[in-house]
Amino acid sequence: MENRKVYYGLMEVAGMRLYVGVSECGLMFVGSDGADIGELERWAVRKKGIDLTEGQDKIAPFARELALYLSGARREFDLPLDFAGTAFQEAVWQALLRIPYGQTRTYSDIATEIGKPEAVRAVGTAIGANPILMVIPCHRVIGKNGKITGYRGGVAMKKQLLRLESAGSALPKVAF
């Protein structure tokens, strides 16, 4: 397989530090708050054929949309996404993209929506493999009992995103 160039950079916004990766086709990766470059590098190794290249200018339009979202000034993302997973993962991620801003769904809801009501655990695994935090809004998925469950970015980050969306309150100071 020919290597695919992915440009990456670090953005800092609302007290968060996130690595972002983009290809010529769109956004491919949004990292966890405070994670080091290793999180991006491990993702690239698992994807195989990814050639990481520093490119702050390439991530700038995507960083702007993320910054606007985290400041409360944007509820939807317009820039293209470039993700690939198994057919099952992609079905789950597409279902996540349909969850409206400020709303939540359960893992069971997602399993039912994709026509696999018995696959709740597999849905959880697919959600955990989501490479594009916030934009593919896996933070909007909660436990059936209403509890906040795991999140690649950490439970604190998930709670922060849910608070942002439910209260409509802006996080302070946008800079990248």
Which residues have a catalytic role annotated? 138
Cβ neighbours of residue 3 closer than 8 Å, sequence gap 6 or more: 49, 50, 51
Q: Is 93 exposed, middle or buried (0-12, 13-18, 19+ CB in 10 A)?
A: buried
Give the integer Cα–Cα distance in Å for 114 and 60: 34
CA dihedral 58, 65, 79, 28 (to 10 degrees): 60
